[in-house]
A and B are shown apart, each in its own frame.
Chain A
Amino acid sequence: MSEEHNPEQGNRILEVSLGATTAEGGTRERVYTVGGAGTFPFLGAGPAAGHPPRIALEICDDTRTWSPIVLREVGDLAGDTGAWAAAAETTFGADMVRLFFTSTRQRGFDDFASLGTTMEEVIGATKYPLIVEGSTEPGIDSEVYRRIGEAAEGERILLGTAEADRYRSVAASALAYGHALVAQTPIDINLAKQLNILLHETGLPPERIVIDPYTGTLGYGFEYSYSVMERIRSVALQGDADLARPMISSAIDSLNVKEVREADPETADEVAIRWEFYAAFSALVAGAEIVCVRHPGTVALLREALPALQEGSHPQEEAYGDESA
């Protein structure tokens, strides 16, 4: 609520640009702008509809904790992070890759040099903007985020994840190397707001923050996430400038739930895809600008479903002009 409502212009979700072309000091073929909406999602055409949502495919550098269903599906790609990332864009049709440095989440991780190498490899293998997730362990955050940030300098990646009690390294990396960041809070609108304020105090400009309100898995708390996303969008449109940021959603545990893990191998892919799809699809309806999934089949299904939501509201490209550079 740090800014007054301006009835002349209407309130809008801030636009966040991801990726940088060669002209801007990066190597991306295109830049994505997310956000910009002045109304609830999928209500029709026009500039108030904002920029189109983006679908990210999540991959990782250490597959030990990754879903066996996905690993089976991607086969040898799992052993080659660069090739997996390239396939996400070309073969699987994702708008972007979300790379998890799961290696850093192993006990006693200290191979920091590998982070830079893998980061460079994935940058080289991809053309579109990137989302990158680092460590979750305060003891190594500083080193991890510095390495990642440095290796991706100039690319304006979306770097995750800042949380209320450990946001400094992510913010420092975003500031030092020119990236945007994911600010995650546990399904709580007040904490989401507070974290944005804290991040602002580090000097990070608001147009470099994407909110992750945390997405519970379908059947395991998704409804709470849905209503928090809806409320964040709603108060942002009512003039709460601290919450007027695009949102990212990933029902990260979808493939770990009992129903998916114990699914009949014959239909496991189908179950996994459905489980991810309905959460991601609903998150889009709730107002998420970036949705993330892990099964390539889910990307395809979302691609198929999106036009139906956007029917009659295709809008964004005309309204904002060509976004590829």
Chain B
Amino acid sequence: MTPIDESLISGRERLDEEMAALEGSIGYDETAYALPVTYAVTGMAVHDAGSAREAYAASGSSVLVAGECLAAAGYAAGGEEGEPYTGFVPDTVLRRLGYSLVDGSIAGIGLVAGSPDDADAAAAICREMQEKYLLTFLAGGVIQTLTEAGVKVGLEYRLVPLGSTGMAAIHFADIIARVAMMFGGVQPGDADRLLNYAAERAKAFVIAFPGLEDEEIAVIDGLRVLSIPILTPEGYEGGEWIRVPYLDAVREGMERRGIRVNVVAIPIPMACSPAFEGKSIRKEEMYVEFGGAKAPAFELLRVRPADEVEDGRVEVIGPEVGDLEEGSAVPLAILVDVAGASMKKDYEPVLERRIHTFLNYGEGSWHVAQRDLVWVRLTKDVVRRGVAIADLGRLLASKFRMEFPDLIDAVQVTLVTDRERVEAMLEEARAIYDERDERIAGMKDEDVGTYYSCTLCQTFAPNHVCIITPERPALCGAITWLDAKIAYEIAPAGANQPVEKGELIDPVLGQFEGVNRFVKKASHGAVDRVSLYGMMDEPMTCCGCFECIATILPEVNGIMIVNRDYLGDTPLGMTFSTLAGTIGGGAQTPGFVGISKGYILSDRFLQAENGIERVVWMPSLLKDELKGRLEEKLERMSIPELFDKIADETVAVSIEDLAEFLARVDHPALAMRPLI
């Protein structure tokens, strides 16, 4: 075991001595960046021993600068190593490497240094790095070890043999320094920018094998300043080097630097694309079905600690498709376990909803509903082509990784078809669903400091801005506050942006300084102020996607709500579509507002106009849909009788009939302050 701390001290001393003894001219050929690390850190273009010592002092005796000056002095003295070693990589080659890093065909870079005792371990590490689209640089005895073990090295194999000693590790640093200057706009001499660039962008790590000399240890340890973790499977102790079993080294390095490999093709025997999303699978085409009230079934996505999720692992517990009779209905539990440093429990339901989308991407797989109501089918056609239940798991695992690369580091899927087990787990799943409902239901606007915007519809309603709060989902009903929050985390440049609500201007109208500021900007100056909880003064704009429209009915001093699915006439004398045509397009129309169904049940529902108590009419379709939840809410408000006082088209379609009905049932709106 080599003690790192002691080696560092003696390594530094050696470097100091050698720097002091340095003589003659110094420099690399085929680069516009002099000695790249030194140039980037100090802004000084070193060309001889004197200027090298000056730069070394200017860098605060950086071991990387010392290592580089010494290496370049060796070059200038003609000490360049020949084949197979590449030594200093010229700018033209580097530009290509940088290109591949930016364009993603190289996922990251790794340095393997030292002289491994176990050739198989070294070869396994390099193979894994090749498979993971990493470009691997090699420094020291490891190159000979690999070539003797029959591993081919060279740029074309993505295994670059830098040099025969550990000192060649300095070229790993000069590559990062040049990429920062070429691609990252880092100016020579701006050491802070360089370090920031490395911290944010350098997807790099080092794996150190035993046998490094003290000064080599010092130079490699110096790489840590560039946010490069140093992992070691054996041979070193102490210092800041991270000990890992060699089998885990690559995964650990990738995880620490957030290096992710993009999966491109999904390895299953059926096509998988959004093109298949809208299909349905009829009974005659179906080979087998799961759930759909014919057998117990559910789906559950859970966040797990990283060590409990084995990425890509798919397991089927119970009968596989080959064991099932054609046309049968089978129980199914779809368990998706995900892990990721930035994953949160709150994301679970949102990601779980994607199971639906993804399974429908399959050419011969179909999915409807959610949670413990799911219904899944597979076609005869794809089963004949070899699609098994496990393939649904592979599809899900791949799609989750592809679609949420920044969120999810690992996904494993378990598909249970064994009836007893599915039934046993169902209770547990239901408890989790309930818990989630409570978490979202319990969220209040005042509990958060940030709302979210949605400008997805600016394509056709140029100045429309939705503001989404925990108690007011987007008017389309498709995006809740949590969805928007996650959408922002997944796509920070996307249509959902955080809105700091800022100082409260009016608690009843729901006007906030920060919201107004945001809306003004996002509406390109068209809208100055927005009331989140009202419809008469500066209501929110409407795009055209609203689930429902709420409008005032001045004659009866009440609010009517009409949903998109209702095609008939309303007491206002307009159908939904006529009404929609007059209020959409991103305009603020006092007295009219586009809303989601969910908002009707919110405590913040048009509170500036007395909320739900002011509602006098809605189509029976909508009333039925909301029935249970609305009755519960009214019960809580101690006005259970209100439900029956809200008219629908079966009692009144004209304003006269409505007025008569409201008078008869003594609707509270009649006694409220006038709306106009």
Contact = CB atoms under 8 A, between A and B. Distances in A.
Nearest to A138: B264
A177 B95 contact: yes
Given A1-B522, A169-B103, A231-B462, A176 B95 contact: yes
Given A142-B103, A145-B103, A190-B458, A176 B183 contact: yes
B157 interface: no
B99 A172 contact: yes
Contacts of B280: none
B105 interface: yes
Given A194-B493, A198-B493, A202-B102, A176 B459 contact: no
Interface residues of B, number: 27
Interface string B503-523: 000000000000000000110
B330 to A, nearest CB: 37
B653 interface: no
Interface string B470-512: 0000000000000000000001011100000000000000000
Interface of B: 95-96, 98-105, 182-185, 455-456, 458-459, 462, 491, 493-495, 521-522, 524-525
17 contacts: A1-B522, A142-B103, A146-B100, A150-B96, A168-B103, A169-B105, A171-B103, A172-B102, A176-B102, A189-B458, A190-B455, A190-B458, A197-B493, A203-B102, A203-B184, A238-B524, A240-B524
A130 B524 CA distance: 35
Contacts of A198: 493
Given A142-B105, A194-B493, A172 B100 contact: yes
A262 B100 CA distance: 45
Nearest to A195: B493
- Those 6 A-B pairs whose CB atoms lie nearest each other, nearest first: A172-B102, A172-B103, A197-B493, A169-B103, A176-B99, A168-B103
B521 A1 contact: yes
Interface string A186-218: 001111001001100111010000000000000
B462 A176 contact: no
Interface of A: 1, 141-142, 145-146, 149-150, 168-169, 171-173, 175-177, 188-191, 194, 197-198, 201-203, 205, 231, 234-235, 238, 240
Contacts, number: 72
Nearest to B95: A176
A188 B459 contact: yes
Q: Is the interface of A mostly helix, strand, loop or mixed?
A: helix
B183 A203 contact: yes
Nearest to A153: B95
B183 A190 contact: no
A173 B101 CA distance: 11
Contacts of B98: 172, 175-176
Contacts of B491: 194
Most buried by A among B104, B462, B525: B462
A86 to B, nearest CB: 29
A200 B95 CA distance: 19
A176 B493 CA distance: 24
B522 A190 contact: no
Contacts of B182: 175-176
A66 to B, nearest CB: 29
B121 to A, nearest CB: 32
Contact of B100 (A142, A149, A190, A201): A142
Given A176-B183, A240-B524, 10 more contacts: A141-B103, A145-B103, A146-B99, A168-B103, A172-B102, A175-B98, A175-B183, A176-B182, A189-B458, A194-B494
A177 B99 CA distance: 9
Nearest to A199: B493
A231 B460 CA distance: 11
A240 B520 CA distance: 12
A189 B183 CA distance: 28
Contacts of B494: 194
Nearest to B526: A238
A197 B456 CA distance: 16
Contacts of B103: 141-142, 145-146, 168-169, 171-173
Given A1-B522, A145-B103, A146-B99, A205 B459 contact: no
A97 to B, nearest CB: 24
Contacts of A197: 493
Contacts of A189: 458-459, 462
A205 B185 CA distance: 9
Given A145-B103, A175-B183, A176-B95, A238 B525 contact: yes
Contacts of B185: 203, 205
Contacts of B456: 190
A255 B560 CA distance: 53
A142 B104 CA distance: 9
Contacts of B105: 142, 169
Nearest to B491: A194
A201 B494 CA distance: 13
A188 B462 CA distance: 10
A128 to B, nearest CB: 26
A158 to B, nearest CB: 18
A197 B459 CA distance: 17
Nearest to A145: B103
A197 B495 CA distance: 12
A162 B105 CA distance: 16
A234 B524 CA distance: 9
Contacts of A175: 98-99, 102, 182-183
Contact of A168 (B102, B455, B459): B102
Most buried by B among A189, A194, A203: A203
Contacts of B95: 150, 176-177
A175 B184 CA distance: 9
Contact of B524 (A168, A172, A205, A235): A235
Nearest to A171: B102
Contacts of A191: 459
Contacts of A177: 95
Nearest to B180: A203
A173 B455 contact: no
A142 B262 CA distance: 14
B409 to A, nearest CB: 21
A146 B458 contact: no
B495 A190 contact: yes
B549 to A, nearest CB: 24
Contacts of A205: 185
A141 B264 CA distance: 14
Nearest to B186: A203
Contacts of A176: 95-96, 98-99, 102, 182-183
Contacts of B455: 190
A135 B491 CA distance: 26
B518 to A, nearest CB: 9
Contacts of B525: 238
A279 to B, nearest CB: 21
A270 to B, nearest CB: 36
Contacts of B459: 188-191
Nearest to A149: B99
A173 B99 contact: yes
B101 to A, nearest CB: 8
A240 B455 CA distance: 14
A51 B100 CA distance: 35
A189 B586 CA distance: 15
Contacts of A173: 99, 103
Contacts of A168: 102-104
